[in-house]
Amino acid sequence: MLFLVGLGGAGSKIVEGFYRKNLGSIIGRLASREEQDVAGVAIDTSQALSSLTSIPIENRVLIGKSLTKGHGTGGDVDLGRRILTEEHELAIAALAKAGFGGAKAVFLITGLGGGTGTGGFPVLADKIRKAFDVPIYGIVTIPSRSEGALYSKNASENFSHIHKSAAGLVVVDNSGPATRGEVVDKAFKKINAAVRDFLRGFDTRTLLKALKGDVATIGVVQAKAEPTALKDLTSRLLRNDVYFPLEKFKRIYAVVRGDRGKIYGERFAQEWIRSKYNAELRFTAVGSENPRKISMYTLITGITGLRERLAVEAKTKKVSSELESLLKDIKSL
């Protein structure tokens, strides 16, 4: 059994996306020869959790009410850590009630930078691992450039703790769609949909094996069901449809859903990736329910530079925030 656990506002919204799209039918594609059920649980310190009505009420867990009054942690990482430490039993009980005992793996999903997710992720990952003896894989969104300095500071200072607490980590950049002209709110929705579509389309066994111990990102690209060179599809994906800026990576795992006969040039694409990026392309083609589309779902592993980027962005936003404060003081004189 595969479980999705959303922690904090961002993670909870992604889990709700699965329910809105009919969780059972989506994950049905991921099932192997044996039966595989999926459930999603959302955990947050904000009363906004109650608005996620697509998630069954018993799978929505509001924690920290006595400390936050249902208003969230306000980006306070220490408070998020404290709440999960003191009230993790509520989360574990909800998972147990949802039939968690047979889980083979857990995806713990959160927004890096917020207080609940950033502070609570390592705590909850440890508690779930010990309670159910399963590996914990993380999916985290990193703060966009439009989000405040506090979020970037939290992300920079706590990324290592989150990375160490997970068996593998997928990072998704909230700035990705926005840098391509998307309005911020639409960009966040696009990121949530990308995570949902990736988990829907990628092979679960391959995902867990490839992700083990690594930092990775994802990409999803679609094309018409017509003769298509794998190199062109891969190039388009790397150019426009990867949700993290890539400087260096080791391997691309690509699952293409569609008519296998429409995809050609596998060896050429692999040579192109090897020569251009000094990386490896592993390609699998499977059937699709939509004969008019070719969809490629990719996991890109061995990405580098994330810690450095988070540190630079935190420093840049701090300077910018201090400058804005100084200008306000000058204007008030």
For the chain, state the CA radius of gyration.
20
Q: What's the CA gap between 247 and 279, in Å, rounded?
A: 12
- 219 and 271 Cβ atoms separated by less than 8 Å: no
Neighbours of 74 (CB within 10 A): 14
In whole angstroms, give the CA distance from residue 273 to residue 194.
Answer: 23
pLDDT profile of the chain (333 residues), mean per 10: 87 90 47 51 97 94 96 96 97 93 91 96 98 95 83 92 95 68 67 86 87 91 92 93 84 92 94 96 85 92 82 72 57 58
Phi, psi of 286, rounded to the nearest 5 degrees: -135, 170
pLDDT of residue 146: 74
d(CA 316, CA 146): 12
CA distance 243 to 34: 32
What residues contact 125, with CB distance under 8 A and at least 6 apart?
108, 136, 138, 165, 166
Which domains, and CATH codes, for the chain? 2-213 (3.40.50.1440), 218-301 (3.30.1330.20)
Q: What is the pLDDT of residue 301?
A: 95
**Residue 19 near residue 54 (C-beta atoms within 8 A):** yes
The pLDDT of residue 320: 58
Please give the pLDDT value at position 147: 79
Give me the long-range contacts of 155-159 (CB less than 8 A, separation at least 24). 155/112, 155/113, 155/118, 155/310, 155/314, 156/307, 156/310, 156/311, 156/313, 156/314, 157/77, 157/314, 158/77, 158/112, 158/118, 158/119, 159/112, 159/306, 159/307, 159/310
Predicted confidence at residue 116, as pLDDT, reads 97
**What pLDDT was estimated at residue 333?**
56
Q: Which is nearest to 72 in space by CA: 108, 47, 41, 109?
A: 47
Contacts of 141 (CB under 8 A, 6+ apart): 10, 110, 111, 112, 171, 172, 173, 174, 191
> What does the pLDDT read at residue 260?
86
pLDDT for residue 26: 43
Q: According to the model, what pLDDT value does residue 24 have? A: 46
The answer to pTM > 0.85 is yes
Residue 222 phi/psi, 5° resolution? -130, 150
